[in-house]
Amino acid sequence: MGLIVQKFGGTSVGSPERIMNVATRVIEEKNRGNNVVVVVSAMGKTTDQLVSLAQEISKQPSKREMDMLLTTGEQITISLLAMALHTKGYDAVSFTGWQAGIETEPVFGNARILNIDTNRVNKELEEGKIVVVAGFQGSTIDGEIVTLGRGGSDTTAVALAAALKADKCDIYTDVTGVFTTDPRYIKDARKLSSISYDEMLELANLGAGVLHPRAVEFAKNYQVPLEVRSSMEKESGTIIEEEGRMEENLVVRGVAFEDEITKVTVLGLSNTLKSLSTIFTTLAKHHINVDIIIQSTTNKNTTDVSFSIQSQDIKDTLQVFVDHKEVLQYENIQFEEDLAKVSIVGSGMVSNPGVAATMFEVLAANDIEVKMVSTSEIKVSTVVEEKNMLKAVEALHQAFELARTAVKQ
Ligand code: ASP
Ligand code: MG
């Protein structure tokens, strides 16, 4: 007998009918002879609604009370799913994060899981029950209830799978798997049969919303086999596993994109050892997330530095520079809005030189100017004008033969 952890996201449990459908999927797995642990998110847009509700009471609610509020969303789903399983004649029990033994660090709003005491879950499984666990929550050693950051139910599922030494963790969602690019915008996008942990991590960090980056990190560290699949359709999804076991050997496996990027350029920065660290520490202190950074030394005494941020942060960024002009020591600051980031990801890049060159050639051939570049071993990101974003994605998707027609299924 195996042990399977299944996770169902907000849309998949968005209504009573959907919850009954989830119960059916859970029972199918149980009837295959497996023990089943089910992790669920809050129903539909419940978490967003709870956030708005809090905003109506207070502009700056206490983080502790926010977590107290948000964890109720998942608590609704676990009880309803357990009831649904009961009506279908199956023995099931629901647990909050705390009851499932999920211990976290003492950080409200974005805690990491430190340890899982699996005793209680194991005991129920041994008695033949289906165990339903609330995603996105845990408790600290002092008994405080915390959340794991938005989208954190994926992490609950993977962490439980690792702690219980499950055979597999299935993430059921509203898409049928991980695609070569976003099928809502690019019609040739194709579902991947498999992808490596590292590639998935890059894609998740680049904003491919299917999986929470921390969940992928966890799965990689504990070698938990993952599958992303649809809760409505029966077809198989995308397996996320270690590189090497995968069937398809593509150099580039996905094209990711994100709009609303702004490039900021700081001119005439005094060229001391500490000037860069001062700038980025100051921005970090103000919770401004900086992505790509480019420094060019213009002369001995001063230097220019450019960096990209999300457009929503531009006001705050400029304010930080105005407020700290004396400490930051620069002459001028400029910015360019309406930009986008287009990235290619693939483990094959490590052993295939020239992938970045091909990317630049393709963009140039399509009259697309590259404003910034950053690379990792398995990723190349470029910043382009927002109006060129989809054109760039389409051209790259084609050039790297990711389209449905180009690859044998
Ligand atoms: N309900 C939480 C959220 O909406 C956690 C999750 O769904 O993963 O962020
Ligand atoms: Mg999610």
Domains and CATH numbers, the chain: 3-174 (3.40.1160.10)
Ligand 1 close to Cβ of residue 218 (< 6 A): no
Of all protein residues, the one whose alpha carbon is nearest to atom 8 of ligand 1 is 151
Q: Return the ligand 1 atom nearest residue 151 CA.
A: 8
* Annotated binding-site positions for ATP: 7-10, 173-174, 184
**Cβ neighbours for 281, distance < 8 A, ≥ 6 positions apart:** none
Q: Quick one: which ligand is closest to 174's CA?
A: 2
- Taking 70 as the threshold, does the pLDDT of residue 245 lie above it? no
Q: Return the ligand 1 atom nearest residue 9 CA.
A: 7
From CA 234, how far away is CA 225, in angstroms rounded? 19
Q: Return the ligand 1 atom nearest residue 149 CA.
A: 9
Phi, psi of 361 (to 5 degrees): -60, -45
pLDDT in tens, 163-216: 999 999 999 998 999 999 999 999 999 999 999 999 999 999 887 778 999 999
Shortest CA distance to 381 belongs to which of 230, 209, 263? 263
Q: Would you place residue 352 in the very low, low, confident or very high pLDDT band (cuts 50, 70, 90)?
A: confident
Q: Residue 352: helix, strand or coil by DSSP?
A: coil
Q: Provide the terminal-to-terminal Cα distance of the chain, rounded to the nearest Å.
A: 32
Gap from CA of 68 to ligand 2 centroid (Å)? 20
The DSSP 8-state label assigned to residue 191 in this structure reads: B
Three-point CA angle 224, 226, 231, nearest 5°: 145
From CA 228, how far away is CA 182, in angstroms rounded? 15
Ligand 1 close to Cβ of residue 308 (< 6 A): no
Ligand 1 close to Cβ of residue 343 (< 6 A): no
**Confidence (pTM):** 0.89
Gap from CA of 202 to ligand 1 centroid (Å)? 21
Task: Determine the pLDDT at residue 405.
Answer: 53
From CA 28, how far away is CA 390, in angstroms rounded? 40
Of all protein residues, the one whose alpha carbon is nearest to atom 5 of ligand 1 is 151
Gap from CA of 134 to ligand 2 centroid (Å)? 14
Q: Would you place residue 343 in the very low, low, confident or very high pLDDT band (cuts 50, 70, 90)?
A: very high
Ligand 1 close to Cβ of residue 63 (< 6 A): no
Gap from CA of 173 to ligand 2 centroid (Å)? 8
- Taking 60 as the threshold, does the pLDDT of residue 409 lie above it? no
Q: Would you place residue 23 in the very low, low, confident or very high pLDDT band (cuts 50, 70, 90)?
A: very high
Average per-residue pLDDT for the chain: 94
The helix-helix angle for 46-57 and 63-87 (nearest 10°) equals 150
Q: Residue 286: helix, strand or coil by DSSP?
A: coil
Gap from CA of 47 to ligand 1 centroid (Å)? 6
130 or 242: whose pLDDT is higher? 130
Which two tokens mark 341? 């980031």
Gap from CA of 354 to ligand 1 centroid (Å)? 40
Q: Would you place residue 243 in the very low, low, confident or very high pLDDT band (cuts 50, 70, 90)?
A: confident
Q: Residue-wise over 179-206: b if at least 16 C-beta within 10 A, else e?
A: bbbbeeebeebbbbebbbbbbbbbbbbb
Ligand 1 pocket test: pick from 11, 41, 174 the residue with the most ligand atoms within 8 Å of its Cβ.
41
pLDDT above 90 covers a percentage of the chain that reads: 86
pLDDT above 70 covers a percentage of the chain that reads: 97
Task: Determine the pLDDT at residue 323.
Answer: 93
Ligand 1 close to Cβ of residue 44 (< 6 A): no
Q: Please answer whether residues 295 and 267 qualify as being in contact, where contact means their C-beta atoms are separated by less than 8 angstroms.
A: no
From CA 39, how far away is CA 82, in angstroms rounded? 11
Residues within 5 Å of ion ligand 2, judged at the Cβ atom: 9, 151
The mean per-residue pLDDT over the stretch 113-129 comes to 98
The mean per-residue pLDDT over the stretch 312-316 comes to 95
Of all protein residues, the one whose alpha carbon is nearest to atom 6 of ligand 1 is 151
Ligand 1 close to Cβ of residue 97 (< 6 A): no
Ligand 1 close to Cβ of residue 41 (< 6 A): yes
